[in-house]
């Protein structure tokens, strides 16, 4: 197998609904995202001959995703009252609403799926909340 790895980071806040501990309160992280691509065979033609994919394309795709979340408040859909969301938006807060609980595990899957939708042969995505703690997602083979 051949593979590539790249990473990017973003700063964002979140909280965990129905959680009993510190993370039930609004807090932020410098999230670090590490993505891995994997193929059995390298490309055989064109400018990407003997490559998994062009590193520039891979880095740009991951950067575009992290930029969507950078300096946003990541909010689980339905976790805040509609008038709270309206007030936050009226005050100029940048919200990124997701249809899942805002855990590192779910964010790893979100990044995985988004990279796969862009046609990249993604094998695994790791999402670090702290330098020492990460969650990862990969599909079973």
Active site residue 129: yes
Q: pTM for this one?
A: 0.95
- Beta strands 122-130 and 133-137: pairing type? antiparallel
- pLDDT score recorded for residue 61: 98
| Tens digits of residue pLDDT in 23-75 | 899 999 999 999 999 999 998 999 999 999 999 999 999 999 999 999 999 99
Whether 17 shows a pLDDT value over 70: the answer reads yes
Catalytic pick from 29, 61, 129, 134?
A: 129
Active site residue 71: yes
The dihedrals phi and psi of 135, each to the nearest 5 degrees, come to -115, 155
| DSSP H or E run through 90 | helix 82-90
| Tens digits of residue pLDDT in 88-133 | 999 999 999 999 999 999 999 999 999 999 999 999 999 999 999 9
Catalytic pick from 71, 77, 117, 139?
A: 71
C-alpha separations of 120 from 2, 16, 52, 93, 123 in Å:
13, 30, 9, 32, 9
């Amino acid at each position: 197998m051949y593979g590539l790895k790249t990473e990017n980071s973003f700063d964002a806040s979140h909280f965990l609904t129905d959680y009993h501990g510190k993370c039930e309160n609004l807090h932020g992280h410098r999230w670090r995202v590490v993505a891995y691509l994997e193929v059995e065979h390298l490309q055989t033609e064109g400018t990407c001959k003997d490559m998994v994919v062009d590193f520039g394309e891979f880095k740009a795709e991951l950067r575009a995703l992290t930029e969507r979340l950078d300096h946003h408040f990541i909010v689980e859909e339905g976790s805040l009252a509609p008038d709270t969301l309206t007030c936050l938006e009226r005050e100029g807060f940048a919200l990124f609403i997701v249809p899942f609980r805002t855990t590192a595990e779910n964010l790893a899957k979100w990044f995985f799926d988004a990279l796969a939708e862009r046609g990249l042969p993604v094998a695994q995505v790791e999402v670090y909340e702290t330098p020492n703690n990460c969650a990862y997602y990969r599909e079973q083979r």
